[in-house]
Chain A
C-alpha cells in the first residue's frame, strides 16, 4: 500500500478562490481525519469520519470549510472562499477504529501546504 495520499502537495491561490484538497486513505481503514497545522494553533482536528460518516466536525472553523467522504477511498476538504488566514499545512490521516479501546495507529499523508495570497 502506498499509504495515505494527499494532493496537491502545494497550493498557492488568491484570496476569494475556491480550494479543494484531496485525500485517499489506506485501503481497509474506516476512520479518516482532516487536520490543519500552523505555528500559532498547532495541529487542529478539523473533522473526523468513521465509515464515511462525519462523526465530529466541531473543529471546522466556519461555513467556508466543508468536507465530504463520498466513499471509503476518497475524501475532500473544500474552502470557499479562501482567505489569507487559511494558509497552513493540511494533513489527512486514516486508521482502523475498533471502538473497543484498541485502535490501530493513524497514518498521515505528506500534507498539503496551502498559501492564500
Chain B
C-alpha cells in the first residue's frame, strides 16, 4: 500500500528541547492519523486531522494539517522522558481503508 513519507527517521533530543516530525504526501489526503508506540508496546492512536489547515493541540503536542492537505507535522514542546517512542503518521485515504505504516520517527529523550 501507499505510504506517507516521514522525516526524520531518528531524533535524539535533550529533555526540555522541542521536537518536530514531518509527513509528506505527493497526493492530496482526505485525512491523516498519528500514532505513538512506546518501546515494547503497541501503537496507540493520538489524533486524526481532516480539515485543510487544521491545528489541534493535546497538552504539549501540536498537530498540523497543511493547507493543501499534502503534509502534516507533530510538534512536541519541552520534551519529557515519557515522550520516548516511535511516532507514525498514515492516511487511510491512500488505499481502500488499509492502514499502512511507514518507518515512523523514533524519538529518544536524553535526561
Q: Which residues of A contact B (CB under 8 A)?
A: 31, 33, 35, 42-43, 45, 48, 50, 55-56, 58-59, 91, 93, 95, 97, 99, 101-103, 105-111
B101 touches A99 (CB 8 A): no
Please report whether the interface of chain A is mostly helix, strand, loop or mixed according to DSSP. strand
Please report whether the interface of chain B is mostly helix, strand, loop or mixed according to DSSP. loop
Checking A31, A45, A58, A101 against B93 with a beta-carbon cut-off of 8 angstroms, the contacting residue is A101
Asked, given contacts A56-B1, A101-B93, whether A43 binds B98 with beta carbons under 8 Å apart, the answer is no
Per CB-CB distance, the 3 closest pairs between chain A and chain B, nearest first, are A101-B30, A105-B45, A48-B98
Q: Which residues of B contact A (CB under 8 A)?
A: 1, 30-31, 33, 35, 37, 42-45, 48, 50, 88, 92-93, 95-104
Residue of chain A at shortest CB distance from B102:
A42
